[in-house]
């Protein structure tokens, strides 16, 4: 496999060969600043950050570099060859539905519909019922909000505000969710906190301290779910309760997660190329998709995000 072979309908994406195999690679976004890519650890070519993978990227360095898995999302780099549409309708999606093959940038870069904003490694995103988008703009140390058709974004928290660094979150925001009242919950990976920002507040309140935060989710009862990379634990914090209930702990992860309308939790087990589910009430853990049992286009390979539409999960690689 040659570096930068075209693999996507997005011309800014290309093939990045994996260091572990000469015959395999990933389709990634190439317009990342080389200064943001760290060299792989020698001599075994591994990455300290669990959400990165070691690749050959000759444009940036003569050595292998750690590439963020979040930048191989098919929403960024749609594949050139897509699987046939299922004849069975899912949720409210018609069985004959088709999608445009080219997306439009709405935030960041050269936006055609929204404001031009310099995003820097945005990790988490949340869309509320009004189609307002909240983004954890991680390496800019801030969370931003964009209302549909607005000409500019609103900065919710800014860790670069030196006068208010203790109230605005000095760590890097990694994920964000919003409840029906407009209260914003922000996960900070570097300072191991989940902060709660009530609508109109000028400062956040630390509501959860947990090591190596990875992902947060919220259900229709406003319970908060938090996953941890280091402990491979999933905790549920019910509304008004300060301690978390451990729903799962074990040799899985890292696991980005989401919750459906029935309060079943879906988790991505990146290490084992599978998706797990915990049902509300009995806390039974089941494997929804086991990537090791499939081959070709049906095989999962380091899935790193998940979404649920009308109770039907969608998995992203």
Q: What is the pLDDT of residue 185?
A: 95
- Averaged pLDDT of the chain: 78
For 268-284, b where at least 16 C-beta lie within 10 A, e where not — what string? bbbebbbbbbbeeeeee
Which one is the CATH code of 122-316: 2.120.10.30, 2.60.40.10, 2.30.40.10, 3.30.420.130? 2.120.10.30
Closest CA to 198 of 213, 178, 216: 178
Report the C-alpha gap between 239 and 223 in whole angstroms. Answer: 5
Provide the total of helices (H) and of strands (E) in the chain, helices listed first.
1, 22
Q: Name the DSSP class of 317.
A: -
**What span, in angstroms and rounded, lies between the C-alpha atoms of 125 and 316?**
14
pLDDT in tens, 111-146: 444 455 788 888 889 988 888 999 999 888 999 999
Q: For residue 177, what pLDDT is reported?
A: 95
Determine the pLDDT at residue 22.
59
Query: Between 178 and 26, where is the model more confident?
Result: 178
Phi, psi of 155 (to 5 degrees): -85, 115
Q: What is the DSSP track for 282-300? A: T--EEEEEEGGG--GGG--
Residue-wise pLDDT for 141-160, tens only, equals: 999 999 887 888 888 888 76
Which of these, 299, 199, 197, 185, lies nearest to 237 by C-alpha position?
Answer: 185
Query: What residue spans define the domains of the chain?
Result: 13-72, 122-316
Average of per-residue pLDDT across 40-61 = 79
What would the pLDDT profile of 243-294 be if each residue is shown by its tens digit? 888 888 775 655 788 998 888 999 888 777 888 888 877 777 888 888 666 5
pLDDT given at position 179? 93
Q: How confident is the model at residue 167 (pLDDT cuts 50, 70, 90)?
A: very low
Do the beta carbons of residue 134 and residue 126 sit within 8 Å? yes
């Amino acid at each position: 496999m040659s570096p930068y072979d075209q693999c996507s309908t997005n011309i800014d994406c290309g093939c990045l060969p994996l260091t572990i195999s000469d015959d395999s690679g990933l389709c990634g976004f190439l317009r990342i600043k080389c200064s943001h890519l760290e060299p792989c650890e020698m001599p075994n070519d591994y990455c300290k950050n669990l959400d990165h993978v070691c690749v050959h990227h000759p444009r940036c360095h003569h050595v292998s570099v750690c590439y963020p898995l979040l930048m191989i999302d098919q929403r960024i780099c749609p594949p050139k060859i897509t699987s046939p549409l299922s004849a069975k309708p899912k949720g409210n999606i018609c069985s004959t539905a088709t999608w445009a093959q080219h997306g439009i940038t709405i935030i960041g870069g050269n936006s055609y519909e929204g404001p031009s904003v310099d995003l820097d490694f945005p990790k988490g995103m949340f869309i509320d019922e009004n189609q307002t988008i909240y983004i954890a703009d991680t390496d800019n140390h801030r969370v931003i909000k964009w209302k549909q058709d607005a000409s500019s974004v609103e900065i919710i928290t800014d860790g670069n505000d030196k006068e208010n660094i203790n109230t605005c979150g000095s760590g890097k925001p990694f994920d964000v969710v919003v409840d029906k009242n407009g209260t914003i919950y922000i996960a900070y990976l570097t300072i191991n906190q989940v902060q709660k920002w009530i609508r109109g507040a000028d400062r956040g309140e630390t509501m959860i301290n947990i090591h190596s935060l990875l992902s947060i989710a919220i259900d229709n009862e406003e319970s908060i779910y938090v996953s941890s990379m280091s402990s491979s634990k999933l905790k549920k914090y019910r509304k008004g309760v300060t301690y978390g209930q451990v729903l799962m702990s074990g040799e899985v992860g890292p696991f980005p997660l989401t919750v459906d309308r029935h309060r079943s939790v879906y988790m991505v087990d990146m290490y084992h190329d599978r998706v797990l589910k915990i049902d509300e009430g009995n806390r039974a853990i089941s494997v929804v998709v086991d990537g090791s049992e499939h081959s070709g286009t049906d095989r999962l390979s380091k899935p790193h995000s998940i979404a649920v539409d009308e109770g039907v999960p969608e998995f992203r690689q």
